[in-house]
Chain A
């Protein structure tokens, strides 16, 4: 016979392991995208998967394992700061490339048109 607390611990472990696995898969898929996509701008999208699905799901999984609510609150703060800072970093890189005159491949044929908008 399992007590109620053990049941809750089991559910918590299963959920957090599921999130850890999905988050880990997100990080691997994002890394694959960075390697496989053809040009600089499209590689940024691969990094986007690592930033969101990967990192955030890992933090959510850790929240389920938090031993007390203080640790939980710190993880919430980490999740918020990750969500605020990673798009700023991505935009800084993309904007720097744009300002130096680097233009992306466009269309299904992946050509460099370089007209600039």
Chain B
């Protein structure tokens, strides 16, 4: 029941923001009808679960995204330096890091965070570990990536 409510609120907010109609009753009724239809179809298809409405990662995800933006900025500078270097000194490397988040949403957030950080790409997402490809030895900061995984595991810490 809680998930249905979250879905209705999120869809209503999205509809209002994207359309910008606040004072046209007929259009608002159509909007409400489409929100109701979409929610009913999602409920009927049994897709309203912890994966489609990942409430467990809020509010921790907001602070995490701010932290990640900063990390992405730092990694961008390193990769940009290699792209512009006269002779790029690359030392590509493959390595495994543990994937500590328990929920599938947490595992995907961690995998995407690694890919989003320039210089490291998630090559294979396994049950409890991730195969990472890094551009250089410096970017293959295993301890840093482990710490990122623990951070993700911490924000989803809720049964």
On whether the beta carbons of B79 and A110 are closer than 8 Å, the reply is no
Q: Is B107 an interface residue (CB 8 A)?
A: no
Q: Is the CB of A110 within 8 A of B92?
A: yes
Q: B11: CB under 8 A from chain A?
A: no
For B, the interface residue count at a CB cutoff of 8 angstroms equals 38
Q: How far is the CA of A30 from the CA of B80 in the complex (A)?
A: 7
Give the distance to chain A from B143, nearest Cβ to Cβ, in Å.
19
Interface size on A, residues (CB 8 A): 40
Judged by DSSP, the binding face of B is mixed
Beyond A36-B88, A53-B72, 6 extra complex contacts between A and B, CB < 8 Å: A41-B92, A74-B17, A87-B112, A94-B121, A108-B89, A117-B94
Residues of B in contact with A (beta carbons under 8 Å apart): 14, 17-18, 20, 72-73, 76, 79-80, 82-84, 88-94, 96, 111-113, 115-125, 131, 133, 135, 137
Name A residues whose Cβ lies closer than 8 Å to a Cβ of B: 26, 29-30, 32-33, 36-39, 41-42, 44-46, 48-49, 51-53, 70, 73-74, 77, 83-84, 86-88, 90-91, 94-95, 98, 104-108, 110, 117
